[in-house]
Chain A
Amino acid sequence: MKVELINRPGNTAAKITLQPGEHCTAESGAMIAMSGHMNITTSTHKKNSGGILKAAKRLLSGESFFLNHFDSVGKEGEVWLGSNLAGDMLALDLDNENLIVQSGSFLACEDSIDMDMGWQGFKSLLSGESMFWLNLKGRGKVVLSSFGAIYPIEVNGDYIVDTGHIVAFNETLNFTITKAGSSWLQSLLGGEGLVCKFSGRGTVWCQSHNPNSFGHALTPSLRVRKA
């Protein structure tokens, strides 16, 4: 499986090239275009693993219930994948490590990656993210998407990320919900409110923009919702 990211970071598309016999699992609805001979199958789980329970858990995390599996029949084939919102993508090679991914950021992965739901505790509720997070582990390629550009931060000590800006982080990191400044008052007055504080050693990938801020900026111009 070969991954190319085109047009970063504005409206990134991932071009995935598969050799015969290779499989790629993608979020449902992500396919933009593909070669005519690509085969697509839909299931609630990854090939040969999990089942309806995992799918239900995935649903809770804000991902979709169904996953699509692509494979190329006979000759090399390609699939273009896109995400729902404008934004960047990140392709990572996992080497038997654990990656914790914000719900909704998963786009695609190789067959060899195992997917499960993780529970980060009640603090997740306050983080502006979903309660459940996706745990990816195994050896292989993973493609994630975001709203805005993705930038990595190597944490060694403490680092603060505003809620709504986390894409993924290494399992070696721990996060707590805290305040941005030295005092709660200042943090609230400054409009920062609650933030996530990462500690330990590892990488956290952030998205430059917060989709909710953009949504709220749009609100006054949008047509009123009926009922």
Chain B
Amino acid sequence: MKKTLLAAAALCAIAAGSAHAEMSGGTVKIGVLNDMSGLYADLAGQGSVIAAQMALEEFGGNVNGTKVEIVSADHQNKPDIGSNVARQWYDVDGVDVIVDVPTSSVALAINDVTREKNKVFLVSGAAASDLTGPKCSPNTVHWTYDTWALANGTGKAVVQTGGDSWFFLTADYAFGHALERDTSAVVEANGGKVLGSVKHPLQNADFSSFLLQAQSSGAKVIGLANAGGDTTNSIKQAAEFGIVQGGQSLAGLLVFLTDVHALGLETAHGLILTEAFYWDANDETRKFAAEFAKRNRGIHPTMIHAGVYSSVLHYLKALKELGADADGAKVVAKMKEMPTDDRLFGKGQVRVDGRHIHPMYLFEVKKPEESKGPWDYYKLRATIPAEEAFRPLDQGGCPLAKS
């Protein structure tokens, strides 16, 4: 009698234990949410889905025998559409983690929804440093880059080479505002001056009016606090109005590989930019890029794609260790506890405020004659070591970092 009772208790314990280790809904669902059709579709878009798939394939397609699925959606750069998709995914479709989400205004909305539902949010595409600052969350990891890191890279480099008075062309939403704020701080801290700024609508086509205002400001540097198609159009039209010949220089604060490809080296050469990843860095990144490009209509991976790959891989590793995906905050805690290591970002860690720490790189765009062909665009100017690349923990104002 005693024996059977004991056996029953043991069985119960095993059953409870295995029930605990099960994944919610019987699968792990990864939702890639980004701009699939607008101005950010090339630098994130379908490529991010491919990057997530590559991470999953490399991991073996399952976590401890539980199937992993990838779904995707287009948020059209609109916070309301983004949060509707997120709610639908979390509440109805059983999605456990949302990845990528460029467009900071949308990312900030998803940040709130994810925390409310206690799921996981892995940010690669969005830039606003608020995500690990005042808006930091125990459910969010900010992987690839942020506005502070961009300002610290490009902004600092430009001020130190003599560009000490600035005028900003700023995309009028959360990202542009954050980038202008963080860059202004760097400019002023390094002895420079900010003469003014003009805010333009997102996905604007004609920049001549704004460029003219920047020109008449007399600033030495025109800082482009925008991204994607907005940046390429600003740079292209600045050439038309003779801004650079007139003695002013342009600082593209967020320029992606796909933007340089779209501009062509004729127009883009000489631009200085900060990135977390470049495909032509070593054998592993080249191998990754070759496979990625084959699956993505020849488009080579941007740092956002690399960040999606790397963050999904680390998420899966944490799940494997933890054995359960239901409690998002626990999964993120595990991700912070385990050191990160993969073939694109190398060794790193996720800080308590959710910031993923790794080196950043300052690149210069090659002259046409220096390039061996399409996608051979950057030469390395400087490596910013991991401990200097991101905002120090105590300066972000993140409540998680205080306790």
Asked if chains A and B come from one complex, the reply is no
Q: Which residues of A contact B (CB under 8 A)?
A: none
